[in-house]
């Protein structure tokens, strides 16, 4: 690309950062927004290939959808309409990160035996872990995690003196669970950091990235990767055939606990690795006897695995490993990302090929290490099939490489020493049989591997059986106070009842919370002549003398009942007082005051279980009430209502203040704007912590009562009370683990957890933007760059509160707090079944 124009559109090219076989990467100036960007320019000879262009577009759209402060942001991309000229080449515009790579940092620290402190490593890996887990939740696997693809932002050293880590080069990413789009005959990865399943052209999952991340950790603590030396193929096969060196033999200062964590992180079997990057970081922190960062604790609390030890291998099959902690997209009402599937298995994926030859991420290309492109067949093959001569080299170091491979092997050796990768020839399925010696089975990873595999199958079978039972909807109602022998029918559910709220978000009161109840029934026979159905709410089972609430007389029409109880005159919180639902069939002539003591008149029944699990503090009812009705921590602060109503209200206030601040900027009223930004931080941080984010002496502008609890969990010791989003996540996990929870409630809790993580990510960036603005004077606030930050705050707070729809499908793309608030209320749903005594 020798004739690249110095200016492309609004971008002024300034410095060539690196060049590869498929693209060049430039530092450029966005002349409209006055900011530096990194532009990847694709070589003109690729433009004529429509398949490449479609894949380039798909890559750009997929990576641009990743919005995380520790992932390089894609700003824009362009596809040339012409195949005749280079004047407007295809290009991708990315965030420019100024600073070194983690590879350079390791070379100047660990490789010099000047190991970073344990605290520095935890601080460094926390944002990396959260960013990687976020990408996995979005259905994206990186597939080339390595130090050269982790940039250290020197402009952001708030938490890391070496620079805030930013994950780059998601160009090798693919949509999880989509049909494979890997190039037929290519293996992707970098030999020093590649996973065994990538070498074997096997199933790729989130744990593929975790393996590579584990090697990065290993290198930081020991000064070297676990496998190195020789050609690229030699290194690759070490991942499959050899045991990693005990880290303590390289760095004797490491503890046995940390050594076990590092070896677990790079276990050959994906199921023996950690389930998430957050779980890995937690295990490292615990092995180092350091506190687990609050952000990591929050991430773990919002996943179903939070109830399990992070050091336990998960007894699930390999396919299940590709399912990240979020529920299926259909459950979330979301559309899965469209994937282009090639009908021709031999079609070359030029998008990935570009990444093979390109020299890495958007910047610091001299430090980058290009991914591997080893030729393979389109079918899955054993590691020994990848390079039969390589397998021989491991057992017989002195043996010569066959002539047809010698030249490639020799060229590969020098590149491998620098962490580079090259195309490695592999016998194709059409190779002559005379050149394909029989291949012995690969040895097991460790003694007892077959026994462990059998055990996993047994455990998986038991696990599936449990899921089948749990999913059947069969559960036993707890005994009523009326009669010890009360049981329920195993008939299917006839309907549901759930609470409704009519709370004014502009008022600091919980009045109207859970004040109504909606009922829907089906397949209900008409009552007997002279009788009617009556619906009731009953008090908790441990309070049999509490007053029942008559909801009203029910009318059956064509076997169905739809009824809404409008609430009482006091607008009482019904969930705070009751936990059981009942329908009786009694005389139509006199409206009863209490349910008939004759159990033969009881027709339908449901309750929210009150059993407290062994070793736990709360029942399912307690978790639901803390979320929806009243939380003891909030009551002690004179905040009535559940956690979700206050989280929803405070996010609403933050969104309102952000819009007000935007209007203040346009009116040049920067003092008022500054006060609104402080108020936003008051609610995000909480009153006891916000002083650490605002200039000294700044008063609390938000309502002191409302700002007692922050929305984000930043530092438990300084915040005084668990943040709203963190506290909600804890009780959602309580719902998942509580006996008696229904499949509907568990699925809903998973969906809410996912939405909650999205809200948190938006608010985390709002906080970072607000901190920048709050330290500016009026002259700085008047700059266009300040408006850009403010606009970002407005966009993100709107998403955090109201969510975001997919413009093409009009389906929910990102859940906001309003939907989370509504879904939380559905956790108190009564599953109504026939009552039998």
| pLDDT one-digit tens code per residue, 120-147 | 999 999 999 999 999 988 888 888 899 9
Does the structure show a pLDDT above 50 at 459?
no
Question: Is the distance from CB of 371 to CB of 189 less than 8 angstroms?
Answer: yes
- Span 307-347, pLDDT tens digits: 333 333 333 333 333 333 333 333 333 333 333 223 222 22
CA 239 – CA 246 distance, rounded (Å): 14
- Span 69-104, pLDDT tens digits: 899 988 888 875 544 444 566 788 988 998 899 999
Question: Is the distance from CB of 375 to CB of 348 less than 8 angstroms?
Answer: no
Question: Average pLDDT of 606-627?
Answer: 91
- Span 559-588, pLDDT tens digits: 999 999 998 877 889 999 999 999 999 999
The confidence band for 476, taking pLDDT boundaries of 50, 70 and 90, is very low
CA 728 – CA 646 distance, rounded (Å): 11
Q: Which of 46-55, 459-468, 593-602, 826-835 has the lowest mean pLDDT?
A: 459-468
- Span 536-560, pLDDT tens digits: 999 998 886 788 999 999 999 999 9
Q: Which of 357-361, 454-458, 793-797 has the lowest mean pLDDT?
A: 357-361
Looking at residue 47, what is its pLDDT? Answer: 61
Looking at residue 564, what is its pLDDT? Answer: 92
Average of per-residue pLDDT values in the chain:
75
Binding-site residue set for ATP: 40
CA 531 – CA 542 distance, rounded (Å): 31
Q: How many CA atoms lie within 13 A of 391 on its CB side?
A: 21
Of 4, 149, 14, the C-alpha closest to 90 is 4
Give the C-alpha distances (Å, rounded to integers) separating 668 from 517, 675, 762, 784, 787: 48, 14, 27, 12, 11
**DSSP readout, 235-253?**
HHHHHHHSPPPPHHHH-TT
| Residue 177, Cβ density class (10 Å: 0-12 exposed, 13-18 middle, ≥19 buried) | middle
Question: Average pLDDT of 594-613?
Answer: 92
- Span 671-680, pLDDT tens digits: 999 999 999 9
- In the three-class reduction of DSSP (H, G, I as helix; E, B as strand; rest coil), residue 814 is classed as strand
Q: Which two tokens stand for residue 346?
A: 């031999």
Question: Is the distance from CB of 731 to CB of 626 less than 8 angstroms?
Answer: yes
Task: Give, to the nearest 10 degrees, the angle between helix 643-666 and helix 670-685.
Answer: 160
Percentage of the chain beyond pLDDT 70 is: 69
pTM listed for this prediction:
0.46
Looking at residue 237, what is its pLDDT? Answer: 82
Does the structure show a pLDDT above 50 at 463?
no
Does the structure show a pLDDT above 80 at 244?
yes
Q: How far is CA 734 from the centre of its chain?
A: 19
Q: How many CA atoms lie within 13 A of 472 on its CB side?
A: 10
Does the structure show a pLDDT above 50 at 694?
yes
Does the structure show a pLDDT above 70 at 178?
no
- In the three-class reduction of DSSP (H, G, I as helix; E, B as strand; rest coil), residue 276 is classed as coil
Q: Which two tokens stand for residue 217?
A: 């950790």
Binding-site residue set: 40
Beta bridge partners of 554: 533
- Span 479-525, pLDDT tens digits: 333 333 333 344 589 999 999 887 776 666 778 889 999 999 999 99
């Amino acid at each position: 690309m020798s004739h690249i124009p110095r200016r492309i559109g609004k971008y002024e090219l300034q410095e060539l950062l690196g060049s590869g076989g498929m693209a060049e990467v430039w530092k450029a100036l966005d002349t409209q927004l006055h900011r530096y960007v990194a532009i990847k320019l694709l070589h003109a000879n690729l433009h004529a290939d429509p398949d490449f262009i479609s894949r380039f577009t798909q890559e750009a759209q997929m990576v641009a959808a990743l919005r995380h402060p520790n992932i390089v942001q894609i700003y824009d991309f362009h596809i040339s309409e012409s195949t005749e000229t280079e004047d407007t080449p295809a290009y991708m515009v990315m965030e420019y990160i100024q600073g070194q790579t983690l590879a350079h940092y390791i070379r100047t620290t660990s490789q010099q035996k000047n190991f970073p402190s344990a605290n520095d490593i935890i601080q460094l890996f926390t944002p990396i872990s959260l960013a990687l887990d976020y990408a996995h939740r979005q259905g994206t696997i990186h597939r080339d995690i390595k130090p050269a693809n982790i940039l250290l932002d020197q402009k952001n050293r708030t938490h890391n003196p070496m620079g805030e880590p930013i994950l780059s080069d998601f160009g090798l990413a693919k949509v999880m669970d989509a049909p494979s789009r890997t190039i037929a005959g290519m293996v992707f990865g970098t030999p020093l950091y590649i996973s065994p399943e990538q070498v074997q052209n096997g199933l790729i999952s989130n744990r593929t990235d975790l393996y590579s991340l584990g090697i990065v950790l290993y290198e930081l603590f020991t000064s070297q990767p676990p496998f190195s030396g020789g050609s690229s193929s030699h290194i690759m096969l070490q991942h499959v055939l050899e045991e990693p060196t005990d880290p303590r033999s390289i760095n004797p200062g490491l503890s046995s606990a940390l050594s076990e964590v590092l070896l677990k992180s790079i276990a050959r079997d994906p199921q023996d690795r950690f389930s998430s990057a957050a779980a890995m970081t937690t295990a490292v922190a615990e092995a180092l006897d350091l506190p687990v960062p609050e952000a990591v604790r929050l991430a773990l609390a919002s996943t179903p695995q939070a109830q399990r030890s992070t050091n336990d291998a998960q007894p699930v099959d390999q396919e299940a490993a590709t399912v990240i902690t979020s529920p299926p997209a259909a459950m979330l009402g979301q559309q899965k990302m469209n994937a282009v599937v090639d009908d021709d298995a031999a079609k070359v994926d030029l998008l990935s090929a570009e990444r093979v030859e390109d020299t890495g991420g958007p910047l610091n290309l001299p430090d980058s290490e290009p991914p591997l492109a080893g030729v393979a067949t389109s079918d899955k093959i054993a590691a020994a099939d990848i390079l039969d001569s390589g397998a021989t080299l491991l057992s017989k170091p002195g043996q010569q490489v066959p002539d047809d491979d010698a030249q490639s092997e020799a060229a590969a050796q020098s590149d491998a020493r620098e962490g580079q990768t090259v195309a490695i020839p592999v016998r194709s399925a059409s190779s002559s049989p005379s050149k394909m010696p029989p291949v012995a089975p690969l040895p097991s990873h460790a003694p007892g591997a077959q026994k462990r595999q059998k055990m996993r199958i047994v455990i998986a079978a038991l696990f599936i059986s449990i899921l089948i039972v749990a999913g059947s909807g069969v559960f036993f109602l707890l005994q009523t106070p009326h009669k010890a022998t009360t049981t329920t029918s195993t008939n299917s559910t006839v309907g549901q009842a759930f609470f409704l709220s009519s709370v004014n978000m502009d008022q600091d009161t919980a009045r109207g919370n859970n004040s109504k109840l909606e009922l829907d029934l089906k397949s209900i026979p008409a009552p007997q002549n002279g009788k009617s159905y009556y619906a009731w709410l009953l008090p908790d089972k441990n309070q049999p003398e509490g007053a029942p609430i008559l909801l009203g007389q029910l009318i059956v029409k064509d076997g169905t009942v739809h009824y809404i109880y409008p609430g009482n005159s006091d607008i009482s919180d019904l969930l705070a007082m009751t936990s059981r639902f009942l329908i009786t069939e009694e005389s139509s002539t006199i409206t009863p005051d209490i349910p008939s003591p004759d159990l033969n008149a009881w027709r339908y029944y449901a309750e929210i279980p009150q059993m407290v699990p062994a070793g736990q503090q709360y029942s399912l009812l307690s978790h639901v009430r803390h979320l929806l009705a009243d939380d003891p921590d909030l009551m002690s602060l004179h905040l009535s209502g559940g956690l979700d109503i206050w989280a929803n209200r405070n996010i609403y206030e933050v969104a309102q203040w952000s819009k007000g601040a935007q209007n203040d900027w346009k009116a040049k009223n920067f003092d008022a704007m500054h006060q609104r930004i402080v108020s936003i931080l008051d609610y995000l941080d909480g009153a006891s912590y916000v002083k650490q984010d605002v200039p000294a002496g700044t008063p609390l502008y938000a309502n002191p009562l409302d700002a007692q609890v922050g929305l984000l969990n930043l530092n438990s010791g300084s915040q005084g009370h668990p943040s709203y989003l963190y506290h909600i996540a804890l009780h959602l996990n309580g719902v998942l683990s509580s006996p008696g929870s229904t499949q509907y409630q568990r699925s809903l809790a998973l969906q809410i957890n996912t939405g909650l993580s999205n809200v948190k990510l938006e608010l985390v960036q709002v906080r970072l933007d607000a901190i920048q603005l709050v330290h500016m004077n009026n002259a700085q606030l008047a700059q266009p760059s300040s408006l850009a930050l403010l606009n970002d705050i407005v966009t993100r707070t709107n998403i955090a509160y109201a969510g975001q729809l997919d413009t093409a499908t009009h389906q929910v793309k990102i859940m906001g707090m309003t939907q989370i608030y509504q879904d939380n209320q559905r956790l108190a749903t009564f599953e109504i079944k026939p009552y039998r005594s």
